[in-house]
Amino acid sequence: MNISIGKTEQFSTKIILVSGEEARDIRDFDGKKHSITLRYKDEETRVYVSVGEEYTFDSCLNAAAAAVRRIVDLKRESVSVLVPKASCLTPVVEGALLGAYRFEAYKSEKKSCLKTLEFVGSDLAEEDMEKARIIAEATNYSRDLVNKNAGEIYPDMLAQKARELGKKHSALSVTVLDEKDIEKQGLNLLYAVGKGSPTPPRLIIMEYTGNTDDEKRSAVFGKGITFDSGGQNLKPSGSIENMRLDMGGAGAVLGIMKALCELNVQKNVIGVIPAAHNAIGRDSYFTGDVYDSWSGKTVEVLNTDAEGRLVLADALAYCKATYNPTEMIDLATLTGAILVALGDTVSGLFSNDKTLAARLFTSGEAVSDRVWELPIRDEHRKAMESDIADLRNISKIKRNAGSITAAAFLENFVSHTPWAHLDIAGTAWNDSEPRGITPKYATGAGVRLLVHYLTQ
Ligand code: BES
Ligand code: ZN
Ligand code: ZN
């Protein structure tokens, strides 16, 4: 997409953001938040979109997205977007590029012809536009990775994507452990989960060095299950169809690293992806068996479908010991239960550190990539104790607190490092119609949240 800033509009198709109050002057327009009306005059098309009562980051973001989505449906090639005030440029650019997103790789006829967006207003800063573009494009990049076929995005393909980023950016160095390294190093949980697949597991580590004088470094982890069949605890029809989404965390981490590189952020961040295909077959790992994790803690696997926590456990413990990060944040499509608890617009947040949790919440509100904290208490920790091993991978509490007990399991592998776990199983995927910046299918949840958090 070509984007630019202009002082007067060049194109005959225009998007105009209006407040609810301004909308009342437009004939037969109710001006409800994010509603749209089209007006035609000679060659000109005006797309009015209401931001609701006020021009906020959230209202401009989603209004711009809704209007641009409509423009794409109208098959326009070039559009001028009128920016109501300079402070709205960031959300308008971000919203416009997120709303323009279409996943058409598997359509024989491409529908989208939008090529040029011009943002019109006074005192608009090129730098704001550029930053917003990088963040939106990183989100769309992550969406593409998650939307693509599971047969196309297998663990080593995620490694190739990481290497591709490493080649482009000198500040990013990429290390990949293949299945032999994984076995030799004793990352037995990751090895076990990936064992049943002809596409073997990988541990992908991306080290971004943006400030050599800074001793601090954050680590972000993304669950990279390229397809989750459930393994021997095979998922039934109705639950399995979308399971290529299960690398949503990994897709987000790749997007985050891409954005950090392009924004030239002066921080040090490690991106880590334990990647595996949780397959069913002759070589799958066994329900009921005990596996020895990298940390030394043994795990009774009572359900091979609770595989995300297993691959993350090894990744968290191994990276903590190897890179000693100052904080660790993981993104994972970990539990169906989080969709029941929080729905598909808010991700679950779990943490052992109040300050980290509060800062993540603030970032989520700032960029409309929202999180809500749930507790981890001793009763949840107790529910993950095994009689035959140190831990079990599913809770003793039946059908209760599934997201919390999953987080309680992960907590065993982070020692005392400030850690936060984001359960994005509800937010990474949208089964319904597009709304605002959220398209159908992969949403890119977590990218904008963590880019904001890491650049604060
Ligand atoms: N990948 C799933 C979680 C998931 C479910 C993501 C629905 C997106 C939508 C995860 O690996 C899983 O299967 N979790 C089980 C845990 C259970 C076996 C304790 C679940 O949520 O049912
Ligand atoms: Zn699973
Ligand atoms: Zn899974």
3-state secondary structure the chain: CEEEEECCCCCCEEEEEECHHHHCCCCCCCCCCCCEEEEEECCEEEEEEECCCCCCHHHHHHHHHHHHHHHHHCCCCEEEEECCCHHHHHHHHHHHHHHCCCCCCCCCCCCCCCCEEEEECCCCCHHHHHHHHHHHHHHHHHHHHHHCCCCCCCHHHHHHHHHHHHHHCCCEEEEEECHHHHHHHCCHHHHHHHCCCCCCCEEEEEEEECCCCCCCCEEEEECEEEEECCCCCCCCCCCCCCHHHHHHHHHHHHHHHHHHHHHCCCCEEEEEEEEEEECCCCCCCCCCCEEECCCCCEEECCCCCCCHHHHHHHHHHHHHHHHCCCEEEEEECCCCHHHHHHCCCCEEEEECCHHHHHHHHHHHHHHCCCEEECCCCHHHHHCCECCCCCEECCCCCCCCCHHHHHHHHHHCCCCCCCEEEEECCCCCEECCCCECCECCEECCCCHHHHHHHHHC
Beta-carbon contacts of 243 under 8 Å, excluding residues fewer than 6 positions away, are 150, 225, 227, 228, 229, 235
- The span from the CA of 283 to the CA of 64, in Å, is 49
So what's the pLDDT on residue 88? 98
- pLDDT one-digit tens code per residue, 64-82: 999 999 999 999 999 999 9
* The amino acid at 423: D
Neighbours of 231 (CB within 10 A): 26
User: Which residue's CA lies nearest to atom 5 of ligand 1?
Assistant: 336
- Does the annotation mark 235 as catalytic? yes
Spacing, Cα 260 to ligand 1 middle (Å): 30
> Quick one: which ligand is closest to 301's CA?
1
So what's the pLDDT on residue 446? 99
- Does the annotation mark 309 as catalytic? yes
Spacing, Cα 297 to ligand 1 middle (Å): 23
For ligand 1, say whether the CB of 308 is within 6 Å of any of its atoms: yes
- The span from the CA of 318 to the CA of 274, in Å, is 11
For ligand 1, say whether the CB of 234 is within 6 Å of any of its atoms: no
- Asked whether 279 and 197 are in contact (CB, 8 A), the reply is yes
User: Which residue's CA lies nearest to atom 3 of ligand 1?
Assistant: 335
For ligand 1, say whether the CB of 229 is within 6 Å of any of its atoms: no
Q: Residue 342 has which token pair? A: 């929080």
Of 69, 76, 202, 309, catalytic: 309
Q: Residue 222 has which token pair? A: 């993304």
So what's the pLDDT on residue 398? 85
User: Which residue's CA lies nearest to atom 22 of ligand 1?
Assistant: 336
Taking all residues of the chain, what is their mean pLDDT, rounded to a whole number?
Answer: 98
Q: Residue 232 has which token pair? A: 């021997």
So what's the pLDDT on residue 110? 87
C-alpha gyration radius of the chain: 23
Of 46, 235, 267, 435, catalytic: 235
Whose tokens are 């989520």? That residue is 364
Mean pLDDT in consecutive groups of 10 residues from the start of the chain, 456 residues = 96 97 94 95 96 97 98 96 97 98 95 95 97 98 98 99 98 98 98 98 99 98 99 98 98 99 98 99 98 98 98 99 98 98 98 98 98 98 98 93 98 98 99 97 99 97
String of b and e for 99-124 (b: at least 16 CB within 10 Å)?
A: bbbbbeeeeeeeebebeebbbbbeeb
So what's the pLDDT on residue 236? 98
Q: Residue 400 has which token pair? A: 């209760």
For ligand 1, say whether the CB of 307 is within 6 Å of any of its atoms: yes
Using most ligand atoms within 8 A of CB, pick from 240, 241, 307, 335 the residue to mutate for ligand 1.
Answer: 335
